[in-house]
Amino acid sequence: MTDSSHTPGSEDTFDLVVIGSGPGGYTAALRAAELGSSVAVIEKDDVVGGVCLNRGCIPTKALITAVHDIETARHAQSVGVNLEFHGIDYGALMKHKRHMVHTMTEGLSALLSHRKVRVVHGEASIAMNHDVIVDEGDSKRTLKASDIIVATGSVARPFNDQPFSHSVIDSDRALALDTFPTSAVIIGSGAVALEFASLWNTAGTKVTLLARRDRVLSHWSRRAGVTLTRELQRNGIKVITHADTTSIDSGENLGVTVHYDLAEQRASESESGDSTESTSHQVSADVVLVAIGRTPSTGAAWFKEAGIELDNHGLVKTDELGQTSAKHIWAVGDITAGRQMAHRAFEQGMTTAEAIAGLKPEPVDNDTIPSVVFSSPEAACVGLTLEDAEAREELNDVKETAFPMLSNARVQMTGQNGSLSVVTGCEQSHPDTPIILGMHMVGPSATELIAEAEEMVGNKTPLSKAARLIHPHPTISETIGEALLKADGRPLNSR
């Protein structure tokens, strides 16, 4: 589909051309248009929104939210409310998912149109003279712009370059399955891996998750990772830690076998000098979901031809406002160094659009970007871990305070467990004033509650003031208030 208001091959001029209509791209386009710029967005797919709206955030959360009702029904029975689960109408569930995606993409299309942002569908490239060439299939169009923002996103990383197939799948293929698998192996322990593990497990799939380290979410605080690992196992997911995947076998028939080594066993055998016993293990299932990260979409030759410098990981090198090594070419989202999350891309898009307009915005602060995982239970964090804070020379008197979630009545009522910890410390400029440096949560509603913590971390709120804030009773949000009181040396309902 192409823009019918322009004839193929015509030359168009804009203040800004954005390549990619995912969260970073469309946010930059909308903000630039709001500031009075003429803007065009180039999208290679038939619809706008990128991975997030079409094959990521929105469809996965639509399924997770719907399937969560199964857990609600099971818990209801344990407290005397006799609800029964009679299975899943997969066709109706997929219709619901498609409806949510359609609603969001249509809404975005309407908003872009309202802001007078031109949307052109086709494959974009940047010529040496910085013209933007759009391959529309049967013709090519040349766009000229004062500035260009590149927001080409990322793709799922395969295991050892093994192609994805009917049984070795990425998250896109997982969302396109005709039904939930009977059994599944998941390689990885980050957000995508844990969300599909919880989704499938709740729906009745036998799930085995292979984590390379001693816990899931190994880059988060240790307490959060250990707690979530325990809760996933308690919910019936088989989590195998220290698992180093070595190969994946998939035949012509349905089914797949994953081979892995156990790092602890290897280390033990090495120390004992026993090199004869094999450390190899295997697990078989209908499918294996490879969720080991995403690769930036920067492999096209035109990146180099346009003078856009990449690092050793294929990420675009930028300054703190998104400016690349090529003058008037900017980059946002998954192709830049940092956490590959939609809400980070949103803020980058806003910041870069404002920088282009000369507004001198504040750079994106990575310490204030929350991470959320819609697993069961949920997990969320923002700011520094204890180890991160201790490693920073400008911080003193760093402490971590843990709060027992089950001391909260509403948490107990949900039938879930979890953990919450607060990291505090003093900046050298204010050595006697502890501030909130980070918060790490596992438990019900964690993905919603973390926004409050983000405000505290971003505003460097003094601990004494934060602990004085009143949380409504009885709510799960009281866990934050109680944790802050404990960190301030004034515990109420905890020791």
pLDDT along the chain (495 residues), means of 10: 42 93 98 98 96 94 94 89 90 95 97 97 96 93 96 97 95 94 98 98 97 96 97 97 96 85 65 57 97 97 96 97 98 96 97 97 95 97 97 97 93 94 97 97 97 97 96 96 96 78
Which residues are part of a known binding site?
61, 152-154, 188-195, 293, 334
Identify the pLDDT of residue 252: 64
Question: CA separation (Å) from 136 to 8, 118, 121, 315?
Answer: 8, 15, 7, 26
Which residues are part of a known binding site for NAD(+)?
188-195, 293
The position carrying tokens 């759009």 is 134
- Is the model's pTM score more than 0.85? yes
Identify the pLDDT of residue 251: 72
- The rounded distance, in Å, linking the Cα atoms of 338 and 345 is 10
Structure tokens, 442: 């596992």
Do the Cβ atoms of 484 and 466 come closer than 8 Å?
Answer: yes
Identify the pLDDT of residue 8: 41
Identify the pLDDT of residue 254: 72
Identify the pLDDT of residue 268: 52
Identify the pLDDT of residue 276: 42
| 289: CB partners within 8 A, 6+ apart | 169, 170, 171, 174, 184, 185, 186, 187, 188, 193, 196
Consecutive H or E run containing 413: helix 409-414
Active site residues: 473
